[in-house]
Structure 1
Amino acid sequence: MDRGAGHALGMSLVTLVGEPWADYGLVDCGHGRKLERYGPYRFIRPEPQAMWAPADPDWQAHGEFVPGADEDGGGRWRFDKPVPRDGWKLGWEDVAFTAQCTPFRHLGFFPDMAPVWAWMRTQFTGKPDPAMMNLFGYTGVGSLAMAATGAQVTHVDASKKSVEAAKGNAKLAGLADKPVRWIVDDAAKFVAREGRRGRRYDGILLDPPKYGRGPEGEVWKLEEGLPGLIADCRKLLDADSRYLFLTVYAVRMSALAIGELVSQAFADLPGTVECGELATREEARGLLLPTAIFARWRRT
């Protein structure tokens, strides 16, 4: 669901709200934590932005991620009830994938991206043989959401383990025969090479981390690398392309800042630039929990 919230600096400010679905829901949140359901299992994870009181102070969960002393990482899972350590099957619309408790406090995919996947699916209406790129594609749920519609997908991630997990999700979803290129590479280097090769795409999704390393030890720092990456992505899109969607997590950065960055890069193309927040609707009271900021260019 899109909810317009006014205008600033010539851009629309928008909140993309993730609603509960059969296999996922934000059950309750508050006092710096959140309670979520992932299929038949419930988990508690840290959530600094949940500054209010929860609807119900007595949470029952299968496991909880207990953070370490370092706010930038660390911690461990504590389980009170049995949970399949090798993961379990979940689904979103017509895409199946594996959820699993990872050492990085999440469960192998990012459920607040569901409204982004749904929005991207609407952008290729009437477009024959669309081609899209998913940069920092992780375990591939976004790639498979597009491949299931018939789009040709280039999935890029620096982690071989993540790309193998994405291939496994493709098999689980019955989408292994879809036209997906699975690329293990440094995202910035790959995009730059695609530009030199004269490649073009109809849509690009990018979800860069705050910090990361490429397969050859390349260092990625968001604030330093993002402007150049957006400029190189722009070279792969033209007036017949449909969108670029950028999400940013876990940084002290404004949606307006990344909105202006995208607006400047796409000033020569027709279309609209919007920026704002991703949020998930809590089931207990319907309040919105912010999770990330985003900026997007769309042709229409």
Structure 2
Amino acid sequence: MKTYLLYTSMLFISVSSLSSCVTAKRYDDMAARARQAEISKAECEEKIALLDEDKKRAEAQIQSLNSLTARLREDSVRTQDLYSKNKVLLDDLFDKYDRLNKSYNGLLANSAAEAGTLSKNLSEKERELLAMEQNLLANKAQVDKLSADLSAREQRLGELEQILKEKDQAVNDLRDKVNKALLGFKDSGLTVDVRNGKVYVSLAEKLLFKSGSYAIDPKGVEALTRLAGALKDQQDINVMVEGHTDDVPVSKDNACIDDNWDLSVLRATSIVNTLVSKGVPPARLIAAGKGEFSPVEAAKTAEARQRNRRTEIILTPKLDELFQILNVN
């Protein structure tokens, strides 16, 4: 959003500064672009706010789910341990019962008094046994409930893992598709890689623009046409176009460009307009300029500055299905 705000401010400044050197028609056109930029900024702020809320909810629910799963597993282990101990005790009681019963039968013929004592002891043991059986049944019911809850949680975790796996596969497939579409431009300063679940298409300045210009060269149009062909049918992919410059100030000979911020935004907008003209739905596109402030190399050499002068097209898969599962109670 800072990028859009700066872009809008610079566009208004550009319109003001050009009022004395351009025709009224072009002035009106640039003013209309400024108003459209304000509208686009508001729409992007709303979308980003919604995405941030979705992300926070998703992260909170995943953390809660992981915590609950850990607790359920700990409870299951403790219950299983209690069940094992109770079973050992029950087996011991059965063994004692058998021994007492044998003793009772042996002594019954010799002494009615001793038989009465044994009968009392046997009754007490039977009551203890009954109590243990009831405890075991209660523990078993608790274990069954915990197991059912754990199974349900594990099923949801499995669904989440499957969706994430499918998203990773989709990202890799998209990378391969883009690589194939842009194969002929690898030697012209173009790279395609995957970072943080997103596909990054980086295009060097020499492939797209002349120095200090935001007009796309024919070879750059050809590359963007092939990229658009790979993207226009990808309904679940959002496209962010970021313009980057080096730290060398723009030439003052170009009255339409104030600084590197302005140049980077204009370049990103030119690329977005080209992709739209080649069939990519505009609702899935975002144009942003970062000027000189996100370099890939901090050195001040010519080679480092050349690498910093680039355009990055970031392809991000939508995660609506993942958010839908996380919102299930």
**TM-based fold match above 0.5:** no
| Structure number having the greater strand percentage | 1
Answer 1 or 2: higher relative contact order, Cα 8 Å, separation at least 6.
Answer: 2
Look at both structures and tell me which one has the larger radius of gyration over its CA atoms.
Answer: 2
TM-score bracket relative to the smaller structure: under 0.3
TM-score w.r.t. the length of structure 2 is: 0.26
| Structure number having the greater helix percentage | 2
